[in-house]
Amino acid sequence: MYLEPRPELCSSSLRSTAFVTPVYSEPSVHLTMYTQYGRTDQPGMPLIEKQSQRLSRCSVRTSTAPGRTVDCTLSEFVRGFLYGGDMFFKRNAAARTNKKLVDTRTQPASRESVAAPRFSDRDLYSLAEKYGTPYFLMDEATLRRKVADMEQAFAEFKGNYRVAYSVKANFNPSVIRTFITEGILFDLTASSELVFILKSGGTAEDVVYTSITETTAEYEEVLRMGVRRIVVASFSGLLNLAEAAAKVNVAVKTMIRVNPEVHVHAELRGSMGHGKFGLRFDGGNEDSATYVLKKILDTPLLQFEGFHFHLGSQVEDPTCYAEAIEKLEAFILDAKRRLGEFHVRTLDIGGGLPAPYGRKVPTPKDLASKIVGQLNSLIESIGDRFSLVSESGRYLTAESTVLVSRIVNIKSFGEAKYVYLDAGYHVLLDSALLRHEYPVEVVPGGKPSQQKVVLVGRLCDPLDVFPTSSRSKLGGASAGKLVVFRDVGAYSLVMNMPFHSQPRPFVLMRDGQGNFSVARKGQDVDRLFLDEGGDCLVT
Ligand SMILES: Cc1ncc(COP(=O)(O)O)c(C=O)c1O
């Protein structure tokens, strides 16, 4: 079977209609699709019509080789015909020869997540030659695989499940474009992020907008740009949204961001003791979920959509999600008793899935196995078959990217060997702020050094020392060799700053076929000079 690429049908229209056109007739193509309305079988049908419903899962069986079947999610399927066509199906079919077509909603295919991408030493050196060091290198296949991992993990959730990409983690347009073609949602916090989505080919329809400032002007701006799903987190924010909706004269699906005040075991916590984000269930004043819910129900242009919480980033124990859902359930049941009829259409459990950074951390499957049963019971107890959204920035992007820098000098100082890089914390600010250690290795490696190795950056700042441990592979370090930092795709490119007049480095992307292209041009020092105010100098 060969599926003709139809990229124009795989981005914004992904959730309305998608066509699969075989180049030659393949009578035994068999598509099994799972939508929120149940399962559809389309033997021999080369057309998938979704009509404003989303395919949650899709299995494809072909007779390319008799007895072979392919089970895949919609995103894999779309990716398959967009990026791999026949190859994709052959590869998957080969891996599953003679495997019966299964209902993947009840029996998710057991595919393990791939490890972080590997790039050959040869490629790393030739890219260094061409683009200079340091440079960032992203891997498109890893970005796509991360979406598939999340979708697969939640396959047993009874309602519709959507992944939302938290654009703040990495707003590179090539990354955004990749996620657009995966058909996922976008979690945004600024109208400027919306501009990035729209310019990358996405639509405002796929946005969940969670403002921190919640001004009328901001709400009015994003409503005019087409956003219709907004999360409010304060009573005055809600009034501002109502005002903006009236000005623009549009109905808004309105969600309430609650702070369930649970203890979170994470590097960055946003729940217990942190009042910046979300509302108390009952704070004893207007800034309470109860008041806000009642006000939404009383405001004609605001349609109550559901609840949202975000517990933190790099959450290393998923128990807090279960606790938050339990508290939310009690709140909803009580509110239904007191306020009468309302329906929860969406529950957004925020982000926080951790990236490994060289350690064992909970996977999406671990999170899902902790909460999917509970969420399915919640559907029963509140009587609303809500859609589930889970957001992610770090998990979706961290492992996709490496930072490649060069060793420029070596010095002995006492017992230690100081290895100087041409990178510094200005390109890895996330690690400097959180003091977390990225997996790092010298390429090509060598025997572990007898001396203690201290990896330092090029900035004139005592803080510019990279955290390393026995996990770091620093053997064989010598001037001229490359050093690769792994898992740097989240929150580092976006915090890239020009400390010491350092121009921003190139960002490269390896696509699904293994070709390298530029995803962000490197800045030269003349450009930096102008951007930093050189163009304001009066001559
Ligand atoms: C509301 C919200 N959702 C999602 C995220 C993404 O978090 P993570 O990258 O840890 O998944 C954040 C991060 O700050 C956030 O504030």
Comparing 33 with 346, the larger pLDDT belongs to 346
CATH number at residue 408: 2.40.37.10
- Within this chain, do residues 417 and 353 fall inside the same structural domain, yes or no? no
219 domain residue, yes or no: yes
- Within this chain, do residues 373 and 249 fall inside the same structural domain, yes or no? yes
Q: Does any ligand 1 atom lie closer than 6 A to the CB of residue 187?
A: yes
Q: How far is the C-alpha of 451 from the C-alpha of 454, rounded, in Å?
A: 9
Domain count, the chain: 3
- Within this chain, do residues 200 and 222 fall inside the same structural domain, yes or no? yes
* Percent of the chain predicted with pLDDT > 90: 70
Q: How many CA atoms lie within 13 A of 437 on its CB side?
A: 13
245 domain residue, yes or no: yes
Q: Does any ligand 1 atom lie closer than 6 A to the CB of residue 267?
A: no
Q: How far is the C-alpha of 423 from the C-alpha of 498, rounded, in Å?
A: 12
Q: State yes or no: pLDDT of 1 exceeds 70.
A: no
Q: Determine the pLDDT at residue 77.
A: 52
Q: Does any ligand 1 atom lie closer than 6 A to the CB of residue 163?
A: no
491 domain residue, yes or no: yes
Residue 109's pLDDT band (boundaries 50, 70, 90)? very low
Looking at every residue in the chain, the average pLDDT score rounds to 83
Residue 10's pLDDT band (boundaries 50, 70, 90)? very low
DSSP 139: E
- Within this chain, do residues 305 and 235 fall inside the same structural domain, yes or no? yes
- Within this chain, do residues 321 and 294 fall inside the same structural domain, yes or no? yes
Entry pTM:
0.81
Report pLDDT digits (tens) over 153-174.
999 999 999 999 999 999 999 9
Residue 115's pLDDT band (boundaries 50, 70, 90)? low
- Within this chain, do residues 385 and 412 fall inside the same structural domain, yes or no? no
Q: Indicate which residue's Cα is closest to atom 1 of ligand 1.
A: 310
What is the CA(492)–ligand 1 centre distance, in A? Answer: 14
- Comparing 51-55, 262-266, 406-410, 451-455, the range with the smallest average pLDDT is 51-55
Q: State yes or no: pLDDT of 504 exceeds 60.
A: yes
Residue-number span of the structural domain to which 449 is assigned: 399-535
Report the pLDDT averaged over residues 231-240.
98
What is the CA(60)–ligand 1 centre distance, in A? Answer: 34
Q: Are 154 and 381 in contact (CB under 8 A)?
A: no
**Nearest residue to 336 (alpha-carbon basis) of 383, 298, 386:** 383
- Within this chain, do residues 382 and 427 fall inside the same structural domain, yes or no? no
Q: Determine the pLDDT at residue 437.
A: 87
Report pLDDT digits (tens) over 423-474.
999 999 887 777 778 999 999 999 998 899 999 999 999 999 999 988 899 9
Which residues, 6 or more positions from 357, have their beta carbon under 8 angstroms from its beta carbon? 398, 436, 437, 438, 439, 487
Q: Are 160 and 387 in contact (CB under 8 A)?
A: yes
Comparing 74 with 168, the larger pLDDT belongs to 168
Q: Does any ligand 1 atom lie closer than 6 A to the CB of residue 313?
A: yes
Q: Determine the pLDDT at residue 31.
A: 54
What is the CA(299)–ligand 1 centre distance, in A? Answer: 29
Q: How many CA atoms lie within 13 A of 198 on its CB side?
A: 12
Q: Determine the pLDDT at residue 284.
A: 86
Residue ending a domain, among 372, 392, 412, is 392
